[in-house]
Structure formats: C-alpha cells, structure tokens
Structure 1
C-alpha cells in the first residue's frame, strides 16, 4: 500500500512521461468486452436471473459446508512415523527390549521404510515419564523412492503390529504426536476421558467404552488407559511402639525417607558440570528382611531400634499410576481416525458414549482431541472475522456515505465463500484453522473487486458528468473488466505453485488450504461480481438515487 501510494506515482511520472498512449485494445480485450457486454445487457434487463442464480449458489454452498471434514490443523507429512508400543505394565526391561527388537525387524521389511529406531523405557532426566513396558519407534520413510504412499505405509505398519499379542500401539508422526499430547494430554487424534473418585469404577468405565467403540468405522489404534496393580512394599507404623521408644511418626517417616531415597548433602564440580552428592544406605533395601533390619535410633542403653520393632513391613499390590486433571482422577480411551471423516466419527462416538451414561455410575466424561480444539479455535477466529467484516463495513460507509453501496460491496464476501467452499470440497481439504485464516484474508480481497467497479461508476457519473443510465453503468463495468480480471488473475497465479505441489508436499500442509480458499474465492467472486455488481448498482441507484 505504501509503495502504491508513493513510489508508483513517481515511477509513472518519470517512466511514462513522453510515451505515446496506447489507445488500441488487444484482440483478447476486445473479445472479452464484447462477450461481457452482451451478457451484461441481458442480465441488467433481467435482474432476477443473476440474483436468483447467486441465491441458488449460496444455498448450495450452505448445504455443502456441513459435509466438509473438520480438523484442528492440516495433517502434516513429516516423512517419519512415530509408533508407540505398550506392553503389559509388569513387563521387565529384557522382555520389552526383546519384543521391541522383533518389531524392528518386522517393520524394516515394509516397502518404503528406510530405517527404524527404537527407544525402550526412558533415559535419566527424560521428560517422558514412561516405564520399561513402553517403547517408541521412529520409522523413517523414503520420500523419494517410496513404493507406497504414507497412508499405505501406515496401513502396512498396523498389519505388522497386529501380529504381536498383548501389545497395544499408537501410530502418529513426531510433530503431530507432540501437538496432540500438548493440546489434549493424550498421544492420539481423539480421546474419551472419564473423571471419578473410584479407580475400580474408572477402569470399568474405560473398558465399557472401549468395547463399545471397537466396531466404529474409522476408529483405529484404540487403546484404553488402565491403572493395573504393581507389587509394592508398605510400611505400617505402630504408634504405641513409637511412643514407647520416644520416636514421633514424622521423625520415623523422615528417617526412612532419607535412608531409602537419600538426601542431597552437597555437590561436586567437574569443570562446568555439577553433580549432587546424595547420602543414603548402601546396597539393595527393597526386600522385607533388609527393610526390617534398618536401624532408626539407638536408645540411651545402647539398644538399637530397628524398623521391625516399630512397624509392620509387608508386600501388597497397588495402582501403578494415578492420573489427575484439576485434582480429579481420570482415565481415558484414546484412538486415531483413519478412512472416514473425523466429524462423522466423533459424532458417532459422542452418541455411543452418551447412550452409556447410565452405566457409568455418575462418572462424567469429556471428549477431547484435535477436532474439539479446532472447534474452539474456529470460534475465536470466527469472532475475529466478524470484527474484520465490521471494520471493513465501517470504512466503506465512511468512504461512500451510503449504506446501500456499503452493503452492495460487502455482498462480495459471501459470494467469495461460494468458491472457497467448492474448492475445499473438490480438493477434499478439511476445514481447519488454516482454512479459517484463508477465509479472513478473502474478506478483504473479495471486497476489492466491488470497490474497483463501484468507485469507477461513481467517478464517471459525478466527475465526468455522464448521466445515470443503463448505458453509463455498462460503460463503467466494461472499462473495469480488464483491471478486475488482471488483479484477480495475478493473485491466483501467485498461488499456483502451492496448488501444483499439493497438500502432501512437506512444508506446504498449512499453505495449501489457504491457497485453495483464496483461489476458489477469487474465481467465484470475480466471475459473479462482474455480472452481479452492475445489475445491483443500476437497479438500486435507479430506485433510490433521488432519495
């Protein structure tokens, strides 16, 4: 805008001064104006044809809109699959590693798979707090010579994983995997989360929901979060014995914590690295006999007070982990969506879960995932879009001082949405936050064509002294035909490289939906605006011009 207002006039003055103006139009320009002139003459004489045609197209777009799939972000093509594998919770590291090695050998045989890397358990300081029953595989895809598409390779991976018994798995991609975990707390496209105070009821609930969702078309990688029991050793203090030996429960608990878990007493520096010094008992103290022999205190008589004298140490089983959200215990059933529109899958999942409400014994549920996050984000973007349209309308009104002209220009926005929605449907592109951004950008672009045409018609009537008539309106519309086509075509051609590369090109996943929306909107707004704006302008001005 700054360049157009400052640099362009200066360059035009110096570069175009003394140049002979070109008055003869090209053959293409004359032909386009001839065809458009005949069509425009007919449309102005029969206004209900153009108005009715646009109304039918808008109705078709409204009907088509709910049929579009919805998601939060477009699916990324990262060139790598992330396969999470969950073995039984009490699996040893050696068993997990052995099964992981077998899975590696199986996955590497899939055509198009370049390499497979595995991590079992977690390293020291790892942010992923998973046990040794958990393994994560990074499956690199050869994007240049792959014999299968990415979705085909995903299907092949699922086929291979189904060959392993007692193994649950989840397939995603590295970035998408982290985004899902950050947004919803689960590493999957969607999840049904149950909240309740009782772990047994939560386990029953997630099992019930998992069984109900097994046969839902489009649901894959279905896994229920559980809280299986793991062996543990409990130390139950005898309060009478503690009083007899002059030990408080807090003192006994703290001493046991220090002796078993250790306590930081200092640090050692080696170069730029610091290492904590932890003081604790040596050797393995996880057996009952070893715990019973720990000396907590010496009496004045010199008699040692051991753990077995003040506590009952015994083996039991308890929950391996308890997950909470805002203080409430929770468990969930997570799954991915493949082969079906996510909106249809989530609608069926919601209806199934709602039908099971009576069997959930008062537990509340929440359906989370990309789709829910996308709906929340779209509401915010929609509010911003309404503010944008309002600001455009106010600026147009203060410029033209006419509510009718303002509304006539703003009607180009829903007209542009016709092409945008049709473009999404043709390219099978889901509605996402990227398409919403494209629609917001389209509101300003679509208004431009109407501004160009109506401003020129006002100019030739008010500044050039032409009388208002059908011929004057047609003259102004034909003079603006080439500029309108040029501005729209240059904008569309600028987006052509993104459209050609497609939505699966790495790095273009978010740009492609934006390009589809803007290009489709430009086509519909330009094609319809050239016929509708002169018709509306003529008949509205003819009726209200004297008012």
Structure 2
C-alpha cells in the first residue's frame, strides 16, 4: 500500500486514495491468505505429539496459529482502513526516493539477482550439495529428547540394598551429608557450589510413589554465583560419593529430568534397560552382567540395579491330610495366621477429633519365632476342642524369597538404569545397545528392552519426520491451487531446504544437539520460508497480469527489488524478537525456547538471503512457458471481467 501510494503521487493522473488502497490490498490478498494457510499446515505435526512433548509444544502451536489467523484478519480489514486514513497525507508517501539504506540494499541485491539468473542451474546444484552437507552435520550433532534443564538445583537418588533398615539408611546418609557440607557455601568457602540441601528417606504407603526406607533422595539448591560447570560438578559429586559411601547406589540429575523420565517409562533415569524372564535369580545374574558391560562406556553414570534381593521369610506350609482329618479348611487356617501376624481391627480409639484402629496381633518376638507360632491353638469346628497350629502346618527353617517382584505386561522384570552426562543421549544409547547385545548372552525365554527418555526421543523424531513430509505434501497441494504448475510450486518449496541449511548450521555454531524442541523450530521455519516465496512469486505474476510486463529478466529484477523491503522487514521483525533468546544462551527457564529460536533465526538468515540469490534465477530459468501461460490466462480473465462490467454499464 505504501509503495502504491507513492507511485500514485508521481502519476500525472492520480487515482483516489481509497482506490489505490483497495487495489494494493487486492494485489497481496491471495499471497497473504495462501501464505497463512501454508504456515498453519506447517504446524499441523505438532498436534500429533503426545505425552510430555505434546504438553510442551501443542500450546505453542495453538498460540502461533491463533496469532497468525488474527494477523490475517487484521491485515485484510484493519490495515487497509488505517492505511487509507494515515498514509495518503504522510510525508513519506510523497518522498519520491528510497532511503539510503534501502538504496544500498537494492544495489547489492541487484548484483545477486543478476548473478542468480545467469547461474541458476549451478546455484540449484550448490544448494542441494549444502543440504547434503547439512544432513551430514546434523547426523554428527547427536540427539536428545529435550534440552538439558537447569532449575538451579540437583537431585541425588540414594539406593541401599533391598531390605535395609531405616537405621542403615540414616548411617549412609550421614556419610553423604558430610560430603555435601564440604561443598556448601560458607564464610570459609564463598565459592561453594551448594547453598543448602535436604533429604527425604522413603515415602509413605499412600504416596503416589511409595518407596521403602532403603530408597532416599536429596535436593541440592545450587549457588548461582559460584563458578562451576554443571556436568563437571555432577561427575565430581558422583565420584566422591562412590568413594566415600561404598555399597550404595548414587544417581545425580535434574529434578525435572527425573520426573520426565519417570513419567515416560516408569524408570527414574534417562536410560532404562529392562530384562524380562521367569526366574528371579537368573534375572539378577543377567542384570549384573549388563551392568558390567556398560559401566566403562564414556558418558554413562554408574549403573544402578533395582534393589531386588532375597530376604528371610517365615513360611507356613499346610498339611492337606491333617486338615482333612480335623475338618479344617485352608481359608480358615490362613485367616487365623493372618490375624496373628498382620493383626485385625477390633475397635477404634478416639483421641480428640482423630480415630485410630485398635489392632490385635501377636507381639513382635512371637511373630518371627516359628516354635511359638506353632504353639498357637486353633478352635475346631462344632466345639470339638483345640489343636496346636504345628499339628496341621510345617514351618521350614531355611525359607527365603524376593523382597520385591517387578512386573510389566505380566512378565517378571529386572531393571538397570543410568543417566548420561557430558554426551548426547542417542549415541550413548546406541553404544549401550551394542555392548549389551555383544557381551550379554540371554537364555531362551529372556529378552531385553531399552526404555527411558531416548525411547520417547526416537518416537517423537520419527513421528515429526513422517508428519512433516505429509505437511509438505499438503503445502504442495495448496500451492498447486494458487499456481497450477509443478515447476513453479517446486521452486517455492525450494525455500524449505535453504532454510534447513541455516537452521542446521545455527545448531552447529551454538554446539547444540538435535532435540524435539529444535525439530519444532524446523517445522515452523518451513512455513515461514515458503510464505516469503509466495509473496515474491505472486508479485512476478502481478507485474505480468496487471502492469503488462513481459516474462523477461527485467521483470524478474524489478519484481525482486520491489519485494526486497517487505521480505527484509518480515525477516527483521521475526529476527529482532528471536535475537535476545539466542544471544542470552541456554539460561534457566529458556531451555525449550533456546533451540527453537536458534533454528528459526539461522533459517531466516539463509532463506532470506536465498530469496534473492537463488529464487529469482530459478523462476527465470525453469518457469518458462508455465509462467507465460499463467500470466496470459489470468490476464485474459481480468479482461473478460472488465468487458462484462463495461457491457453491463
């Protein structure tokens, strides 16, 4: 609108401002509508995400789509009205020359556009060579599920052998406390990395994650003013704990990462190796073999095996013949033994507003003594007297059993878990899988599954890749509706690989891995890049249809230079908003936005540059008869419409 008003002011026969505003709005109407449709299609893969990644990124997709639809409504309604009232008398629309900066940019862009039209084929080949290089670089980056979080705190998980008492847990914790106090900030140690810490041992039976007293956790609040590297601190912490607290499993990670891992697979670590089989002793043996196989892999924290141990048990084995002789049922005897050992509520005790069950059961010394338990007397049916429990049951002296039996999908399971530090998740898991398959021989009926965050990363990556391809197919159909020419449509879609190149090299420069967050950045980047291509090509056709320009290098040069300012302004407004997120780095609270902003900013730079360095040449070199055909057909439609209007008048 601004440019058309300026041209109208130079005309010897100027049109009314409202006509100029209307015609300028109609000129870009289809480009804006189809560009918005393309962006919406590009964001569709986000809505297929489920789980944690869906909860994180679906709101982002909703917010972006709603905002861009609102901007579409404003651009088609409010913007033309404001332009009509504010721009016709503005001094800038009567200034007949471009600003110095824009003149300089057009001068430089002119060289790029002319070179593009002379060497279009070479530039196209070079583009796809760079795409291949980018894919190669992307494969070397490594992959993680989500960026590493830093909430300013660290969680230490402590696991003692199964069946350990609260006293044993407290003794081990006192050793850990002593090590943490040495790292705590104080007057003598102002650069101590730990501000304060607290411990929780076990969890109540009715807690969402009930745990025995042999399992505990520490939450450390870190000193943000201290100069320390997070990964180095965790490595040092684990080494010190392993040396000073032997026999205890120690894990250290971020609290949020711990929760995400638990929600994803039920394993409280980034990597969970699950062994399935029937025999618990064999499962524990195989778990030890797996632990030994992965212990020396670089980047893997000390592996922890689920604390399934054999503990002493009191077995009561009933005698079928004696039960039949005395006329007793198994259920009757089992209820009797349960009452003796576990107890039975016979009444309630009131204390103020609180109520407590009154439980009757054997005293502690008698509950664990088979001889005293066998001396208990059972009432016989029909008042036939009493017998001792040992007369209908045996009490094996050397009985034992597992303290815990984990199952998944009805199969017994043993889990080895570990975290990854100083290395990407995907390559670490690949090496873990290789070592386990090469060094651990599984008997028939036993198998291994790998779970944890990496499993969600693989699933999300595959899903986004497939749906992104479907989204590109949808964009192709939308563009074919706008320009029924495969040549022109593919030229516009070429903006996606040029944006991909910039996004990948932005990740390389900032030393980031490929995460679900960065993939979301690539998804959104594709829609933005294609939208700019639509604006450029639409203007080429406008010059041929409305202003009588022939399909020629001069028309391509003019159309590209006239679209230079709008395209640069679009890229700059987005870039200015993203620069603070990228320059600020991976700060606490910005872990999700940082990779998204990095990819979009890098892609915007390359796609905007290629918009004038590659795409004009592609349009001139490969559009040919299709461009002339579309220009003539749409121009003839306009002439028929004008003729019909004049005849009606």
TM-score by length of 2: 0.80
Residues 195 and 330, structure 1, Cα contact 8 Å, conserved in 2:
yes
What is residue 229 of structure 1 aligned with on the other side?
A: 310
Residues 441-481 of structure 1, C-alpha deviations (whole Å, 9 max, x = no match): 11210111111110111101111111111111111111111
Quote the Cα distance in structure 2 between the aligned partners of 1:270 and 1:500: 62
Determine if the alignment matches structure 1 residue 501 to structure 2 residue 574: no
More strand by share: 1
Structure 2 unpaired stretches of 5+: 1-71, 184-191, 630-649
What is residue 227 of structure 2 aligned with on the other side?
A: 147
What is residue 8 of structure 1 aligned with on the other side?
A: 79
Deviation at 1:73, TM superposition (A): 1.4
Quote the Cα distance in structure 1 between the aligned partners of 2:396 and 2:196: 47
What is residue 44 of structure 1 aligned with on the other side?
A: 117
Which of 218, 230, 242 is the aligned partner of 1:162?
A: 242
- Secondary structure in structure 1 of the residue aligned to 2:269: coil
Quote the Cα distance in structure 2 between the aligned partners of 1:293 and 1:169: 45
Q: How does 1:169-318 map to 2 (within 5 A)?
A: 169-263=250-344, 275=355, 277=357, 279-281=359-361, 283-284=363-364, 285-298=367-380, 300=382, 303-315=385-397, 316-318=399-401
Quote the Cα distance in structure 1 between the aligned partners of 2:85 and 2:208: 64
Which of 148, 155, 172 is the aligned partner of 1:75?
A: 148
Deviation at 1:258, TM superposition (A): 3.8
Quote the Cα distance in structure 2 between the aligned partners of 1:152 and 1:509: 19
Residues 341 and 362, structure 2, Cα contact 8 Å, conserved in 1:
no
Which of 569, 590, 594 is the aligned partner of 1:512?
A: 594
Which of 524, 530, 544 is the aligned partner of 1:441?
A: 524
Quote the Cα distance in structure 1 between the aligned partners of 2:347 and 2:81: 73
Deviation at 1:207, TM superposition (A): 1.1
Residues 374-401 of structure 1, C-alpha deviations (whole Å, 9 max, x = no match): 1111222223322322222222211222
Deviation at 1:178, TM superposition (A): 1.4
Deviation at 1:154, TM superposition (A): 1.2
Residues 551 and 627, structure 2, Cα contact 8 Å, conserved in 1:
no
Residues 108 and 114, structure 1, Cα contact 8 Å, conserved in 2:
no
What is residue 404 of structure 1 aligned with on the other side?
A: 487
Residues 281-309 of structure 1, C-alpha deviations (whole Å, 9 max, x = no match): 25323332442243332455563233222
Residues 320-341 of structure 1, C-alpha deviations (whole Å, 9 max, x = no match): 1111110111112211112233
What is residue 133 of structure 1 aligned with on the other side?
A: 214
- Secondary structure in structure 2 of the residue aligned to 1:431: coil
Q: How does 1:317-332 map to 2 (within 5 A)?
A: 317-332=400-415
Quote the Cα distance in structure 1 between the aligned partners of 2:478 and 2:358: 69
Q: Tell me: CA distance 1:270–1:460, structure 2 relative to 1, closer, same or farther (3 Å).
A: farther
Residues 199 and 216, structure 2, Cα contact 8 Å, conserved in 1:
yes
Which of 402, 418, 427 is the aligned partner of 1:335?
A: 418
Determine if the alignment matches structure 1 residue 490 to structure 2 residue 573: yes
What is residue 528 of structure 1 aligned with on the other side?
A: 610
- Count of paired positions: 544
- Secondary structure in structure 2 of the residue aligned to 1:333: strand
Deviation at 1:17, TM superposition (A): 3.4
TM-score by length of 1: 0.94
Q: Tell me: CA distance 1:460–1:274, structure 2 relative to 1, closer, same or farther (3 Å).
A: farther
Quote the Cα distance in structure 2 between the aligned partners of 1:183 and 1:231: 34
Deviation at 1:180, TM superposition (A): 0.7
Which range moves more in the overlay, 409-418 or 225-234? 225-234
Residues 31-76 of structure 1, C-alpha deviations (whole Å, 9 max, x = no match): 1111111232122122233223212211211211211211111111
More helix by share: 2
Q: Tell me: CA distance 1:360–1:223, structure 2 relative to 1, closer, same or farther (3 Å).
A: farther
What is residue 97 of structure 1 aligned with on the other side?
A: 170
Quote the Cα distance in structure 1 between the aligned partners of 2:485 and 2:556: 18
What is residue 113 of structure 1 aligned with on the other side?
A: 194
Residues 120-164 of structure 1, C-alpha deviations (whole Å, 9 max, x = no match): 233352333332222211111122x12313223212311320222
Quote the Cα distance in structure 1 between the aligned partners of 2:489 and 2:556: 18
Residues 349 and 358, structure 2, Cα contact 8 Å, conserved in 1:
no
Residues 315-367 of structure 1, C-alpha deviations (whole Å, 9 max, x = no match): 42211111111011111221111223322222211111222354545421111
Quote the Cα distance in structure 1 between the aligned partners of 2:307 and 2:279: 13
- Secondary structure in structure 2 of the residue aligned to 1:131: strand
Quote the Cα distance in structure 2 between the aligned partners of 1:424 and 1:296: 76
Q: Tell me: CA distance 1:267–1:65, structure 2 relative to 1, closer, same or farther (3 Å).
A: farther
Which range moves more in the overlay, 1-10 or 254-263? 254-263
Deviation at 1:427, TM superposition (A): 1.2
What is residue 139 of structure 2 aligned with on the other side?
A: 66
Quote the Cα distance in structure 1 between the aligned partners of 2:539 and 2:417: 58
- Secondary structure in structure 2 of the residue aligned to 1:34: helix
Residues 154 and 171, structure 1, Cα contact 8 Å, conserved in 2:
yes
Quote the Cα distance in structure 2 between the aligned partners of 1:380 and 1:541: 34
Q: Tell me: CA distance 1:526–1:200, structure 2 relative to 1, closer, same or farther (3 Å).
A: same
Structure 1 unpaired stretches of 5+: none
Which of 513, 517, 526 is the aligned partner of 1:430?
A: 513
Which range moves more in the overlay, 312-321 or 296-305? 296-305
- Secondary structure in structure 1 of the residue aligned to 2:312: strand
Residues 11-41 of structure 1, C-alpha deviations (whole Å, 9 max, x = no match): 1122223334132111111111111112321
Which range moves more in the overlay, 294-303 or 224-233? 294-303
What is residue 539 of structure 2 aligned with on the other side?
A: 456
Q: How does 1:381-420 map to 2 (within 5 A)?
A: 381-420=464-503
Quote the Cα distance in structure 1 between the aligned partners of 2:193 and 2:550: 71
Quote the Cα distance in structure 2 between the aligned partners of 1:76 and 1:165: 29
